[in-house]
Chain A
Amino acid sequence: MCGIAGVFSLNSNLGAEHRCVITRLNAWQAHRGPDGEGLWSSDDHSVSFGHRRLAIIDTGSSGNQPMSDVTGRWTITFNGEIYNYQVVRAELNQLGYRFATHSDTEVLINAVAAWGFLGLRKLRGMYAFALWDNRNKELWLARDPYGIKPLYVAQCNDLVWFASQARALAECVPLENKRDPAALAGFYLWGHVPEPFSWWENIEMLRPGSVQRFQAGKKIATSEVFFDIPETYAEAEPHNMSREEIRDAVKDSVQHHLVADIPVGVFLSAGIDSNVVAAFATELRPGTKLRTITLGFDEYAGTPEDEVPLAEEAARALGSDHVTVRIGKEEFDTILDHFFARMDQPSIDGLNTYLISRAAAAQGLKVVLSGLGGDELFGGYPSFRQVPFLISMGRVLPSSKWLRDRISGTFRHLLPRGVPPKMAGAIHYVGEIGAAYLFRRSLHLTEELATLLDETWLRAGLEKLQTESSFQRIVAPVARAGKPVHAQVSVLESCCYMRNQLLRDSDWASMAHGVELRVPFVDVGLLEWLAPAVSSAAPPSKQDLASCAKHFNPILAKRPKTGFTTPVAEWIRDIHEPRTWRLHGWADTVHRRFRTPPSQMQPLLGALAS
């Protein structure tokens, strides 16, 4: 996993100043790839690529990037891993393609050379890349189907800029950098900036599972979708799966995710997902001692939220080489500035991944597997119960808006302490899946935003976000295909919460320490295998998942779900308004850090300190 960047000129040649910006982008993203740096410009000076390398596969210099194929037609700058590259390479060999390296990067180039953009359907992995076709003078930008790896694009004055981090573009490229109202509204609605928007109005995220092609002289890029998650659910023929089938599917994915030329570790919590991954990793690598890491918090010690005792017990049972890292408020205070310096865009999450990746890096680990994505496939979130409930409530509750306003207004004043403020507005979010999901995943409800954002931001932001209707649009193919609500919630969780929050934060928070985070439950191979089951009337549950791994400790399956949380609300109590509801205060703190660009903030803070 690496950091990529580049620029393509649609009209004229690039100058030294443009290449200078790529050097700056490389320097900005250096933490993403501490093992090497590469710069490349095309002979016709129309395109320039930068690359920072984290060496995982073919770790020698032959794997360096930007990389050209043996024909010299293609040059790539690529961030990610192709887990099934050996299988695809064998297939390409049979077709007569030659390889100069042992890297997955060259397999990716030749897959495109052989099969065009549809060749990407053959790949299992996480990736974002820019590929230059010197014959057709065309720039390809592409991203994996789930959107595990980010790729941000900014088109300005006939120049197309791209990078792995939006903030790198905002801070290194001469762009206008206006705030996107959709980002502001989205951040307060959900705690993250939803794709395709970014914190900066002229920087956008490339659509996952798609290829965008830019050609000299043409301002409009052509876009082709090669993989669509909702369509995969929609097209799946419902089928109940046996535990053996689930076991084979998950085991296969974990096996693929273990591909590396360096040691691979596992982030181990007390939850089912990470323990299943660790159990399969142990089973698949007999004779090799698996390395596991658990993160614990001083504040949780001795409480049911403390994951450490169970995780340590599980590690003992697995016989892994285990490390527990505990962190408290004192240490949190020391890392806060670095944490915000690495945060790509405002997010209320990511701290947990940041902390455990930091611990992994301290242990010398560069590749770590995580249980992220298990809840989306195996119905682990409360949303799988709550969304159908809210939909059904639409038939029972009065439909009059006036009456609903009165009811929610009354509830607002009667809410007991400890109940989220948004519960008062629940009555407005019943009947439809889009509304119900919006309620379930919102940090603040739409009506609460008026006290948080000025109406100019809010109006423009909500207009761009199209909150409920955008959710409806995402599930439309699945609903049209008559798939149950469970499958629709799985699609929403995968394409919204997981993509915009979990995967986005996992990327910058792990790369902040030069650690590659792999997610075996977020895999197109596994999805194609399991989609028929998830779309069936009896979708597989977390208990089914728990029972399919040989070395899984059954005591873990009995633990109530808690999620991978941090005591951040307690940690910031003294630097923030103590009366705010849990993460609401944290959201304000995050926004405060992102209101002032760091370059302007530092001298100011320096002056204040003096």
Chain B
Amino acid sequence: MNILLLLTDGYGSLGGISQFNRDFMAALNASMAVNRVQALPRLIPNEIKGAIPEAIVYDRSASGSKTRFTWHAIEHAWTPVAPDLLICGHINLLPVAYFVARLCGARLALIMHGIDVWRPTSDPLTNRLARSVDAYLSVSSLTADRFVRWSQASPDRMSILPNCINLDRFTLRPPDPTLIARYNLHGFRVIATLGRLAPKERYKGFDEVLEVMPKLVDRFPKVKYLIIGDGEDRSRLTAKAASLGIAQNVVFTGRIPEEEKVSHYSLMDAYVMPSSGEGFGIVLLEAAACGIAVIGSNADGSREALMEGQLGMLVDPHKPDELTAAILRTLERSTPRMRPSGIETFGIDQFQLRVDRWLWRQEAAIRAKREAA
């Protein structure tokens, strides 16, 4: 099967969606159902490092303007070996994907990452096309349900493909003394949240944790809250910490390099993310894989990531007392670090298996359509 994959970003990019896309491309590469993938990234913000999987042709020339991206996508429809399956990596790219798929007669699939599909988009055309896709891949059931509710898409076409984590990379490690010194954490209990500090992503729950910090400090004067990430909201959050009188207990690390991520998890006593808009919440799993106690939300996709509470505690993000109690309980318990059982469900092997099964189903559908024609 030849695949045309339209992406927002992937190689040479940071963030959850690009990580999912890289994992997805690696799985396509390892699948026996796939001949070749022509992958068109809309953006390549950074330099691409390392080798691209050998079945993937990463068309760098497609990135840049929308016109350029669209033109390249159309060009791929005209090649002598046109794609059998067009996978649209983000709902915002759906109009282009739909047009190209119709042009070359390819089966069309859409990947849904989370909050981006929970509500209708601002583009009426995209909203109209949303129900006309042949197959959907959603990172969580919650995301699929919310999408189906407004789009009227057939639930039969939904498949769930949760994000995956590299369990060989996210492992238990002793805290790094350099980082302890860097953030002045010696003797402190550490809770943390990792994410982009963007006004559009306030659903991650930084505010909720800050608001319960005074109570935590009352109980544990030597506790620090590490806010890992950067963005336009940083100054607002800094001011908020000051107004709550806990500025000394909050550390803004700024954006950290990818290779320091595991060392940062290793500093924590608890990873806390009382979010309300996560499609899945991969960071919860990363922390859990590093043996860190995790507190997540029961109001979004985090619930599925934490396997209904098997991999970490679930709290209602809108109930500060519940959140406070959960954090205090975790800090008081101070149990030795261990990886929760069941986390292998989100390992790369399982991800590969899910992608493979989905691809075989797509291939069968493509073949059936061809035979019918």
Contacts and interface: CB of A to CB of B under 8 A. Distances in A.
Q: Do A and B bind each other?
A: yes
Interface of A: 179, 184, 421, 450-457, 574, 576-577, 579-581, 584, 588-589, 591-593, 595-596, 600-601, 604-605, 607-608
Interface string B331-373: 0000000000000000000001100110010000001000000
18 contacts: A450-B57, A451-B38, A452-B57, A454-B57, A454-B58, A457-B52, A577-B1, A577-B2, A579-B81, A580-B80, A580-B81, A592-B35, A592-B55, A595-B29, A595-B30, A604-B356, A605-B32, A608-B356
B305 interface: no
B52 A607 contact: no
A579 B51 contact: no
B56 interface: yes
A608 B29 contact: no
A184 B32 CA distance: 18
Contact of A592 (B32, B38, B79, B352): B32
B82 interface: yes
B60 A455 contact: yes
A595 B55 contact: yes
A351 B57 CA distance: 28
Contacts of B360: 608
B308 interface: no
B57 A592 contact: no
B232 interface: no
Contacts of B58: 454-455
A588 B36 contact: yes
Nearest to A600: B30
Interface in B73-102: 79-82, 84
Contacts of A593: 32
B34 interface: yes
B107 to A, nearest CB: 13
Nearest to B50: A456
B233 interface: no
B57 A451 contact: yes
Contacts of B56: 454
Nearest to A594: B54
A591 B56 CA distance: 12
B353 A608 contact: yes
Return the 4 tightest CB-CB contacts between A and B, nearest first: A454-B52, A588-B35, A454-B57, A596-B30
Q: Which range contains the number of B residues in contact with the other chain?
A: 20 to 34
Contacts of A421: 80
Given A454-B54, A577-B1, A608-B356, A596 B35 contact: no
A584 to B, nearest CB: 8
Interface string B23-41: 0000001101011101000
Given A451-B79, A579-B80, A580-B81, A184 B54 contact: yes
Contacts of B60: 455
Given A454-B52, A584-B81, 15 more contacts: A451-B79, A454-B57, A455-B58, A456-B48, A456-B51, A574-B367, A588-B35, A589-B35, A591-B54, A592-B34, A593-B32, A596-B32, A601-B32, A605-B32, A608-B360
Contact of A452 (B36, B80, B352, B356): B36
B35 A579 contact: no
B52 A577 contact: no
Given A579-B81, A579-B82, A607-B353, A457 B51 contact: yes
A456 B52 CA distance: 7
A127 B30 CA distance: 37
A457 B57 CA distance: 10
Interface in B184-236: none
A453 B36 CA distance: 9
A596 B30 CA distance: 6
Most buried by B among A574, A592, A600: A592
Nearest to A453: B57
Nearest to A455: B60
A457 B54 CA distance: 8
B366 to A, nearest CB: 10
A580 B29 CA distance: 20
B142 to A, nearest CB: 27
Interface string B5-47: 0000000000000000000000001101011101000000000
A452 B37 CA distance: 9
A510 to B, nearest CB: 27
A574 to B, nearest CB: 8
Nearest to A415: B80
Nearest to B39: A454
Contacts of A456: 48, 51-52
Contact of B54 (A451, A453, A607): A453
B286 to A, nearest CB: 24
Nearest to A460: B51
Nearest to A179: B54
B35 A576 contact: yes
Contacts of B79: 451
A450 to B, nearest CB: 8
A223 to B, nearest CB: 30
